């Protein structure tokens, strides 16, 4: 019997798991995918919003601002790559300046610090590539950029270190109220074996599927729509085209798209916003990709769209009420929702973790875990070391002298670390999200066979069992002449 079963190992579920591991409790996290961070958390804008966007008084507003404020300490504790680059909402000549001022007012009500409006002259000194039509912008210095993979991994690995059990490749089929809590029936996505979990408290952090889980136990139905957002990622050569996250002032033409540097030095453009029926429809579309460059050019000029190295789509969990749905379902004691976590979900995750953990702890009367380890070290990046330090490292661990991914200069040592650390990588994408091997301009053309060899040797596993991203995504199908 678990005290708490968290369903969903995205950034929300992982942040909750980490916060809950500060208490004395038996906790597990269940996810249908082969790794943590496989849903919305892996395909988003990778930014920490300042918090001026949400309606004052909403959970989105409160948790965004709180989550943003928590990031510096968290980045230090958990070794999460995070930089406060600041964000800009740009207003063009044809738009209403009053709307920008209203946005600033909203932000102030939400408690966003240091907001101010910059005129074009000052703006140009910050962002020379801003579009010629832009007349002014709302500047939020607390906006930041983050690696969403590392943020999620950091929470999950630290939770794991502090005793939380993770059950991956485990799909929840059914939840039922039992005498002392809940019964969760699951199927292992690889072996097909069924397993039943029992927990006093369930935390529903299942992203676009959170409504399905809620609706299994509660008459207060949730309705979550998957809202697709498509993105283009540009080569590092284009990474300094802008230095802040640049939003467009929402208008009747839509919310526009953002243009931002990423924490790893690329340029990211997106997202589109289209509601889709299929909750697994992470495909990009010609119309979506075509629109990105066009829309982005409203705020930033001369974006070198020829330097796109990949494009992707993520699904945001939009609940029809418009706000996050966090708290115990009224008719299901101990079933705590963390649902409808769309933007600013990543920014709010630290605060959602805090809030939900507190709710669960109060419900269960949990006491503090005296052995909680707050720190987690990320994967050692040799590029951050001096040549002397690096050579000491290589002398001891020669694998740090062997470059596997030549675009991102990732060594064998980093890939081995990614495999052997808590909740280690078992797939090509697992390695990629943890180390960036394969994320560069050749998009794993050169390093994928070599990374496969390392997985084969280190896990160890058979070549035929190595996947791109879990069950069914096997990379090779047979030996030569033996199909």
Partner 1 sequence: MSTRELTCINCPLGCALTVTTENGSVTSVTGNTCPRGDAYARKEVTNPTRIVTSTVRVAGGVCPMVNVKTATDIPKDKIFACTASLKNVIVQAPVAIGDVILTNVADTGVDIIAARNIAAK
Partner 2 sequence: MKNYDLVIVGGGPAGLAAAVSARDNGIESILILERDKELGGILNQCIHNGFGLHTFKEELTGPEYAARFIDQAAERNISYKLNTMVMDIAVMDSGEKKVTAMNREDGMFELCAKAVILAMGCRERSRGALNIPGYRPAGIYSAGTAQRLVNMEGYMPGREVVILGSGDIGLIMARRMTLEGATVKVVAELMPYSGGLKRNIVQCLDDFNIPLKLSHTVIDIEGKDRVEAVTIAEVGADRKPVPGTEERYTCDTLLLSCGLIPENELSKNAGVSISPVTSGPVVNDSLETDVPGIFACGNVLHVHDLVDYVSQEAAVAGKNAALYIQNGSSGDARTVEIVPEGGVRYTVPKFIRPERIDDTVTVRFRVGDVYKNCAVCVYLDDELLQKKKRPVMAPGEMEQIILTKEKLGAHPDLGRIIIRIEEA
Q: Bridge-partner residues for 174, per DSSP?
A: 185
Let me know if 24 is a catalytic residue: no
Please say which residue, 230 or 319, places its beta carbon nearer to partner 2: 230
477 is a contact residue toward partner 2 (CB under 8 A): yes
Catalytic residue among 24, 49, 223, 375: 49
474 is a contact residue toward partner 2 (CB under 8 A): yes
Q: Which does 54 bind (CB under 5 to 8 A by kind): partner 2, partner 1, none?
A: none
Site residues (CB under 8 A) for partner 1? 480-482
Determine contact, residues 314/229, Cβ cutoff 8 Å.
yes
Least separation in angstroms between residue 479's CB and partner 1 is 9
Please say which residue, 270 or 288, places its beta carbon nearer to partner 2: 288
Determine contact, residues 265/380, Cβ cutoff 8 Å.
no
Residue given tokens 């101010």 in the structure block: 116
Least separation in angstroms between residue 309's CB and partner 2 is 5
Q: Across 235-273, where does the E strand assignment appear?
A: 245-248, 258-261, 267-270
Listed ranges 17-25, 53-61, 93-101, 277-285: which one lies at the site for partner 2 (CB under 8 A): 277-285
Give the number of residues in contact with partner 2, rule: CB under 8 A: 54
Residue choice 165, 215, 284, 291 for contact with partner 2 (CB under 8 A): 284
Please say which residue, 219 or 479, places its beta carbon nearer to partner 2: 479
Euclidean distance between CA atoms 38 and 61, whole angstroms: 26
Determine contact, residues 266/232, Cβ cutoff 8 Å.
no
Euclidean distance between CA atoms 358 and 353, whole angstroms: 8
Q: Across 120-223, where does the E strand assignment appear?
A: 134-140, 144-146, 165-167, 170-178, 181-188, 194-204
Please say which residue, 101 or 456, places its beta carbon nearer to partner 1: 456
133-137 long-range contacts, CB within 8 A, separation 24+: 133/92, 133/93, 133/94, 133/298, 134/90, 134/91, 134/92, 134/299, 135/91, 135/92, 135/93, 135/97, 136/90, 136/91, 136/97, 136/100, 137/88, 137/89, 137/90, 137/91, 137/100
Count CB neighbours of 165 within 10 A: 15
- 27, two tokens: 């906790």
Q: Which does 221 bind (CB under 5 to 8 A by kind): partner 1, partner 2, none?
A: none
Please say which residue, 196 or 283, places its beta carbon nearer to partner 2: 283
Count CB neighbours of 110 within 10 A: 22
The H or E element that residue 418 is part of is: helix 412-420
291 is a contact residue toward partner 2 (CB under 8 A): no
Residue choice 165, 297, 311, 358 for contact with partner 2 (CB under 8 A): 311
Instruction: Identify residues 121-140 at the interface with partner 2 (CB under 8 A).
Output: none
Q: Which does 240 bind (CB under 5 to 8 A by kind): partner 2, partner 1, none?
A: none
288 is a contact residue toward partner 2 (CB under 8 A): yes
Residue choice 188, 255, 390, 465 for contact with partner 2 (CB under 8 A): 390
Residue choice 294, 331, 402, 457 for contact with partner 2 (CB under 8 A): 402
User: Residue 320: phi, psi to the nearest 5?
Assistant: -65, -20
- 398, two tokens: 């020669």
Count CB neighbours of 221 within 10 A: 8
Greatest Cα-to-Cα distance within the chain, rounded to the nearest angstrom:
69
Least separation in angstroms between residue 100's CB and partner 2 is 33
Instruction: Identify residues 150-179 at the interface with partner 2 (CB under 8 A).
Output: none
User: Which residue, 435, 238, 316, 432, is CA-closest to 45?
Assistant: 316
406 is a contact residue toward partner 2 (CB under 8 A): yes
Residue choice 132, 252, 286, 365 for contact with partner 2 (CB under 8 A): 286
User: Which residue, 16, 19, 17, 36, is CA-closest to 28?
Assistant: 17
Please say which residue, 221 or 481, places its beta carbon nearer to partner 1: 481
- 258, two tokens: 């953002």
Least separation in angstroms between residue 478's CB and partner 1 is 12
Binding mask 193-232 for partner 2 (x = CB under 8 A): ---------------------------------------x
Residue choice 37, 238, 309, 423 for contact with partner 2 (CB under 8 A): 309
Residue choice 187, 312, 378, 424 for contact with partner 2 (CB under 8 A): 312
Q: Bridge-partner residues for 260, per DSSP?
A: 268
Q: Which does 363 bind (CB under 5 to 8 A by kind): partner 1, partner 2, none?
A: none
Please say which residue, 96 or 473, places its beta carbon nearer to partner 2: 473
Q: Which residues bind partner 2 (CB under 8 A)?
A: 232-233, 280, 282-286, 288-289, 308-312, 387, 390-391, 394-395, 398-399, 401-403, 406-407, 409, 441-446, 448-449, 463, 467-483
- Active site positions, annotated: 49
């Amino acid at each position: 019997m678990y005290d708490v079963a968290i369903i969903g190992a995205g950034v929300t579920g992982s942040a909750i798991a980490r916060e809950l591991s500060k208490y004395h409790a038996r906790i597990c996290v269940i996810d249908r995918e082969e790794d943590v961070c496989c849903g919305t958390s892996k395909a988003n804008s990778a930014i920490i919003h300042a918090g001026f966007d949400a309606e004052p008084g909403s959970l989105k507003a409160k948790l965004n601002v709180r989550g943003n404020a928590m990031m510096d300490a968290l980045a230090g504790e958990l070794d999460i790559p995070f930089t406060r680059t600041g964000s800009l909402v740009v207003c063009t000549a044809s738009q209403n300046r009053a709307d920008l001022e209203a946005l600033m007012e909203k932000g102030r009500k939400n408690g966003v610090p240091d907001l101010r409006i910059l005129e074009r002259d000052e703006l140009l000194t910050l962002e020379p590539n801003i579009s010629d039509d832009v007349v002014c912008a709302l500047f939020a210095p607390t906006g930041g950029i983050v690696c969403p993979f590392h943020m999620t991994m950091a929470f999950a690995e630290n939770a794991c270190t502090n005793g939380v059990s993770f059950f991956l490749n485990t799909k929840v089929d059914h939840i039922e109220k039992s005498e002392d809590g809940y019964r969760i029936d699951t199927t292992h996505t690889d072996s097909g074996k069924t397993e039943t979990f029992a927990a006093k408290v369930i935390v529903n952090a299942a992203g676009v599927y959170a409504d399905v889980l809620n609706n299994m136990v509660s008459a207060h139905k949730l309705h979550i729509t998957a809202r697709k957002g498509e993105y283009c990622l540009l080569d590092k050569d284009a990474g300094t085209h802008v230095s802040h996250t640049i939003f467009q002032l929402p208008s009747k033409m839509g919310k526009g798209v953002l243009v931002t540097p990423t924490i790893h030095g690329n340029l990211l453009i997106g997202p589109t916003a289209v509601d889709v029926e299929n909750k697994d429809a992470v495909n990009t579309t010609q119309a979506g990709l075509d629109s990105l460059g066009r829309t982005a050019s409203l705020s930033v000029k001369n974006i070198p769209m020829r330097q796109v190295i990949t494009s992707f789509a993520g699904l945001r969990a939009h609940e029809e009420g418009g706000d996050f749905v966090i708290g115990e379902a009224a008719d299901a004691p101990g079933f705590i929702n963390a649902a409808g976590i769309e933007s600013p979900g990543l920014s709010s995750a630290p605060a959602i973790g805090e809030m939900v953990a507190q709710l669960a702890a109060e419900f269960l009367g949990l006491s503090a875990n005296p052995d909680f380890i707050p720190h987690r070290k990320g994967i050692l990046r040799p590029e951050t070391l001096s040549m002397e330090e690096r050579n000491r490292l290589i002398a001891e661990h020669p694998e740090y002298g062997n470059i596997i991914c030549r675009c991102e200069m990732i060594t064998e040592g980093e890939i081995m670390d990614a495999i052997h650390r808590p909740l280690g990588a078992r797939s090509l994408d697992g390695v990629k999200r943890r180390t960036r091997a394969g994320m560069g301009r050749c998009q794993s053309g050169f390093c994928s066979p070599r990374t496969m060899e390392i997985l084969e040797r280190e896990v160890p596993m058979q070549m035929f069992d190595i996947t791109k991203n879990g069950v069914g995504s096997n990379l090779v199908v047979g030996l030569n002449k033996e199909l």
